[in-house]
Amino acid sequence: MTDIKVAWSALGGDPAFLARVSTVVREDALPARLPVRDLARACVGACALAGAELGARRASHGRTPAVRVDDDAVATAFVSERRLLMDGRAPVLFAPLSRFWRTADGWVRTHANYPHHRERLLHALGLPADAGPAAVDRTLAERAALDVEDTVYAAGGLAVALRTPGEWAAHAQAAAIAARPLVERGRLDAAHTRTFTPLDGTPLLPAAGLRVLDLTRVLAGPVATRTLALLGADVLRVDAPGLPELVDQHADTGFGKRSTLLDLTADRRAFEELLGSADVVVTGYRPGALDRFGLSPEALAERRPGLVVAQVSAWGAYGPWSARRGFDSLVQVATGIAATEGSAERPGALPAQALDHGTGYLLAAAVLRALTEQSHEGGSRFVRLALARTAAWLTEGARMGEDEGKGTPKEETAAEGARGRGAESGEGHGERGGAGRAGPESWLGEAEGPIGRLRYALPPVSFDGGPQDWARPPGPWGADPARWL
């Protein structure tokens, strides 16, 4: 099943709270052979419920606000990078060498959006630095897909051979992933119980006053921290000066955040000062890649007791591929999703980068739930997710089907959703929850900011009294000082 009950259970949530969730169903949202719409709805709904739960805890309401999930809002947010306009210009999503290629025995997909990944790909294939798609096409047509995968990976590049679901199921990495829960959660120590400053006023911002160090890139991690910023956290994204970010990507995921540049060796003192008053650290690099900087969950919690450390990766922290780089498009290819969504002539893809977006909302939900648990039980916490594990959940859901049962959130038709649900669901939502709010275009906002005029997808995380939009548009990448507000 890919419903909210599974997601909420994986987060350790009280099943009684599911009665607070309702859904506006849009049958044409995120069409696919796999249950993408259901997964997207579940991830967003679980995140909204985790936010509502923490907000009620801090506001001492005694009753968790009602959560309403609209499929149109979710579908729009899951393609936020496609709906973005910057001064009327559409973003560049994939570079010319990021695509499917025919090989001598099948298909391979490459990822070369970043200049260093492009250089490594061409070097691995024995091509000059200025080689274009035609040269790559000719070279790959003479190579076996698995040979390309191994050769490019050994050179530090990104290429994955197309596998069927059965071929992936027989892979050692699939077995390692299947042995792990959808959301890994645990305590790191017995730090004191977290005490929150009580909340009052409108909107209800569950993460207000919390400081989040954002050490993430592309796309799940930034989606998670963008969501925490929506809910009131002071989110400071930290990047290495020598590892530039793509402008369009930063614009899409930078809402509500600030962005600074720090060398974790040369600027160590500045980083430790930030860590000294941080509440949450979110990392999105390969498992173990940051450990040499003292950024493992255990090392962070030792220096900052009471911390929540959240980690997201492509392939998971275990198994033979745990150290490999990866992106949503490559995970779809390896895990059989591209084969399922394609045809006999060509591989396909999901209607959104749903593994990235879904995992991002689950990661934010896991952080919110960890904060709530700390207010009861204390202890530094870690949470860990992987795109490949989310992919396994998606494909399992296709095999198992949906199970209607006790505790399933109420579903509305699109017409019912457009009429609204009276005081309970309409209060606190403003226009978003009111009558007539239907269609993907109605979930787009506009803002003027430091990087221009933006059209963007509005946040899908919605609960009574909660925020409607981010407090600030994104600024230039790396332009903010390395300090908390």
Q: What is the pLDDT along the chain (485 residues), one digit of tens a residue?
A: 789 999 999 999 999 999 999 999 999 999 999 999 999 999 999 999 999 999 999 997 778 999 999 999 999 999 999 999 999 999 988 999 999 999 999 999 999 999 999 999 999 999 999 999 999 999 999 999 999 999 999 999 999 999 999 999 999 999 999 999 999 999 999 999 999 999 988 999 999 999 999 999 989 999 999 999 999 999 999 999 988 888 899 999 999 999 999 999 999 999 999 999 999 999 999 999 999 999 999 999 999 999 999 999 999 999 999 999 999 999 999 999 999 999 999 999 999 999 999 999 999 999 999 999 999 999 999 999 999 999 999 999 767 654 444 345 566 544 444 433 332 333 222 334 333 457 888 999 999 999 999 999 999 999 999 999 999 999 999 999 999 99
User: How many Cα atoms occupy the beta-carbon half-sphere of 471 within 13 Å?
Assistant: 18
- Please give the C-alpha separations between residue 284 and each of 12, 343, 371, in angstroms, as whole numbers: 22, 33, 20
- Whether the bond into 128 is cis, omega within 30 of 0: no
Instruction: Find tokens 């499917």 and name the residue.
Output: 100
Cβ atoms within 10 Å of 378's Cβ, excluding its own: 18
b/e burial code for range 435-458 (CB count within 10 A of at least 16 → b): eebbebebbbeeeebebeebebbb
Nearest to 222 by CA among 214, 230, 213, 211: 214
The residue type found at 481 is: P
| Residue 344 identity | A
pTM over 0.85: yes
Count CB-CB contacts under 10 A for residue 137: 12
| Widest distance between CA atoms in the chain | 65
Q: How far is CA 83 from CA 200, 226, 238, 407, 441, in A?
A: 34, 16, 26, 34, 9
CB 480 within 8 A of CB 259: yes
- Which residue's entry shows tokens 């994986």? 10
